[in-house]
Amino acid sequence: MPRIHRPAAAALAAAALLAGCGKSGSPPVKGPRADALPSYRVQRGFTLPASATWSAAHRRGRLVIGVKDDQPYLGEKDPATGTYSGFDIEIAKMTAASLGFAAGQIRYQAIASANRETSLSNGQIDYYVGTYTINALRKKQVGFAGPYYLAGQGLLVRRDEHDINGPQDLKGHKVCSAAGSSSIQRIEADYPDATPVSYDTYSVCVDNLLTYQVDAVTTDDSILLGYAAKAPDQMKVVGKPFSKEPYGIGLAKGDRALRAALDDAITAHERNGDWKKAYDATLGLSGVPAPAPPPVDRY
C-alpha cells in the first residue's frame, strides 16, 4: 500500500475536522447537550427608554447580537441545524433575558474580529459577544460591559511539534491569527522574529496548521483549547498564557444606559448561578474547571 504523504493525510483530517463530520470514524462535532444548559428567566415588562439601542430592538421585537460561529465551546454554529452554541452564546442569551428578550427573539450575526468596531458603531448589531477583549484602544471606538471572563493568549501547534513551547520559540516560524485581533497585534509588537500570517477567522488558521502551511496558531487559550479538544490526536496547546484578555460585551460607545443594564445583567447571572452552569455546559467541556468570574468594571 502506498504510504500517504503526511501533509496530505493532515489535509484530509483538516477537511474532516472543519466539515464537522467524522470521515475517519470520529464523532460529529456537537455542541453542548441541550438539557445541560440553564434556561434564563425573561424579565417581562423590562424597559430601558434611555437606551437608543434597546428602544429600537424593542420596537422591532428582537435583538441582533454579533457573535463568532467557528469557535468550539464559545460561539459555534451547527451547519446542519443553524443552531448556535457555546459560552458566549449563553452570555448573549442570559443578558438578552435580563433586557426582556427571549432566546427566540435573538438573531445571531457572525462578525469577524476585524469588523467588530465598525458593525457596532454603524448599528448593524445591537451588541457583540464573541471573545472580545476590552482594551484602551478599542474603548475609543466602542463601549464594553463586563468583563465576564478572563482568557490569556496561548499557542496551538501540531501534536508532533517539539520546538515551539512558548512565544520565545517563534523565531523563523509562521504563526497564524485573526486579522484585527489583539493576538496578532501582540505577536507583531513583541515577537518581531516570528512571521505573522493573518486570516479572517481562527478556523482557517487551524486548517493551515493541519496542512503544514503555518507552524502555530495564536490567540486566547479559551479558543485554542476548544480546537485542541476536538482533535487531540492532531493538535496541542503549549506553554503558559502570555497575556490577559478580559472578555467584554461590545456595544455602541455612547449608549451608557445599555452598558449599565448589561453590567447589571452579568452581575445578576453570576450571583444566581447561571454563569457557572453555563460555563460548565460549554467552555468547561474543553477541560478547564470554572474559574471565579472577574469583577465587572463599571467605568
Site residues (CB under 6 A) for ligand GLU? 113, 130-133, 178, 181-183, 219-220, 245
The label of the residue with cell 445583567 reads 265
CB of 179 to ligand GLU, least distance (A): 9
CB of 17 to ligand GLU, least distance (A): 20
Q: How far apart are CA 198 and CA 19, in angstroms?
A: 21
**Which of 64/178 has CB closer to ligand GLU?**
178
CB of 186 to ligand GLU, least distance (A): 9
Mapping DSSP to helix (H, G, I), strand (E, B) and coil, where does residue 108 land?
strand
Q: How far apart are CA 151 and CA 215, in angstroms?
A: 22
**Which of 219/234 has CB closer to ligand GLU?**
219
DSSP string, 174-224: EEEEETT-HHHHHHHHH-TTSEEEEES-HHHHHHHHHTTS-SEEEEEHHHH
CB of 221 to ligand GLU, least distance (A): 10
**Which of 95/201 has CB closer to ligand GLU?**
201
CB of 62 to ligand GLU, least distance (A): 24
**Which of 53/182 has CB closer to ligand GLU?**
182
**Which of 95/182 has CB closer to ligand GLU?**
182
- Residue from 217, 224, 167, 165 nearest 194 by CA: 167
**Which of 7/152 has CB closer to ligand GLU?**
152
**Which of 8/288 has CB closer to ligand GLU?**
288
Q: How far apart are CA 95 and CA 291, in angstroms?
A: 20
CB of 74 to ligand GLU, least distance (A): 9
Task: Give CB contacts under 8 A, 24+ apart, made by 52-61.
Answer: 52/252, 52/255, 53/123, 53/126, 53/127, 53/251, 53/252, 53/255, 53/258, 54/99, 54/126, 54/257, 54/258, 54/261, 56/126, 57/99, 57/101, 57/126, 58/100, 61/105
CB of 228 to ligand GLU, least distance (A): 16
